[in-house]
Structure 1
Amino acid sequence: MWKLVFLAALVIGSSSIEVESSNSMNMKNFTVGFLAGVGNSSSTCSASMGNAINIIYKIVGDISLDIKSPNLQEVINTLNDLQTLVNNIPSVKKCDFSSLNESLMSLFTLKGLDQLVQNYLNNGEQIFSDYNTILKCNTNYYNCGFSSGNAFKLLSGWILN
């Protein structure tokens, strides 16, 4: 549950900044891509969290429409999207972040540094490919996020299941 609260806080925080709506969509696409990148190929967790982010962004958009031009249909749309988010919670609750802290903390030891270098050597070609994609972030933010997540996964050894 705390993951959804955290995601909602990120979305609301990023949406409250006076920026172009395309920047907000870029952030959403990057985040959804990152979650897909850190997941394994069959990770339902990555897909569920990406879906939750999309729903949260839709809710934030609905609320902003409710404020700008309140009408009954907009309120109904917001309530429907909130119900969709609530229905999505069980699939997101299955996500396991328990090993993330341990994996990150172990990288800051001498043994972890050796492991980081070994991970880089084992996956250097893919990490370099991801790096080139990251350099072109402004062309496709989902791919940029995916490459960032994949590089993080390959370097840290942690996978979102």
Structure 2
Amino acid sequence: MYLGWLAGYAVTLRALPNGLIWTLIVLFAASIGDAGGYFVGIRWGKHKIAPAISPKKSWEGYFGGVLFSALATWLLTLACHAFVPEILPVHGFILGAVLAVITPLGDFAESMLKRQFNLKDSSHILPGHGGILDRIDSSLWALAIGFYIIQLFL
């Protein structure tokens, strides 16, 4: 049920002024945050956040994801600003940082559901990735959170 509710924010976000660009920026921020967190965590991750819920997530990876997302989204909005003056680079930095701080909660929520049902992966469609939900949970939460950040503050 939460999948449909969160996915609905893609439509809501798209309906905002400059909504297509904002939607792409939000999805970019979530993806870069995940990738940055993964690579920093693999390289330097030593201090686990919640080993019982998500055994591989580290504080180092978490903060690496925040940094990657904030800086990369700032660069993206710097480029977008040339075409859409209403989108400021500072908006990208803030959006990237806030999304990267909050969206890992989606990862933890999905991991908790899997642990509750004694599942290692949510599906076997993407071998080695934990399933479809592991690929999209951060993006789904980012759409909802990004909508409210953009609507209320940017």
Please say whether Structure 1 and Structure 2 have the same fold, judged by a TM-score greater than 0.5.
Answer: no
Q: TM-score, normalised by structure 2?
A: 0.32
**Whose relative contact order is higher, 1 or 2, with alpha carbons under 8 Å and at least 6 apart?**
1
Structure showing greater radius of gyration is: 1
Q: Which has the higher helix share?
A: 1
